[in-house]
Amino acid sequence: MSHELWTAVDGYIVETIAPQDEALRAALTASAAGGLPPINVAPNQGKLLQLLAEVAGARRILEIGTLGGYSTIWLARALPSGGRLVSLELDAHHAEVARSNIARAGLADRVEVRTGPALDSLAALEAEAAEPFDFTFIDADKVTYPRYFAWALKLSRPGAVIVADNMVRSGAIIEAGSDDPMVQGARALYDLIAAEPRVSATGVQTVGSKGYDGFVIARVNG
**CB-nearer residue toward Mg ion: 59 or 165:** 165
Interaction between residue 70 and ligand SAH (CB under 6 A): yes
Nearest one of 138, 196, 208, 198 to 170, comparing CA atoms: 208
- In the window 94-153, what residues touch ligand SAH (CB under 6 A)? 94, 117-118, 139-141
Interaction between residue 134 and ligand DHB (CB under 6 A): no
Residues in the chain: 222
Question: Interface mask (CB under 5 A) for Mg ion, residues 116-155, using x and -?
Answer: -----------------------x----------------
Per CB under 6 A, the list member of 9, 39, 103, 172 interacting with ligand DHB is 39
Per CB under 6 A, the list member of 52, 118, 165, 207 interacting with ligand DHB is 165
Rounded (5°) CA angle 151-163-140: 65
Per CB under 6 A, the list member of 14, 61, 85, 88 interacting with ligand SAH is 88
Alpha-carbon span 72 to 90, nearest angstrom: 15
76, burial (CB in 10 Å: exposed 0-12, middle 13-18, buried 19+): buried
Phi-psi region of 208 (alpha: psi -120 to 50; beta: other; left: phi over 0): left
Binding site for ligand SAH (CB under 6 A): 39-41, 65-67, 70-71, 88-91, 94, 117-118, 139-141
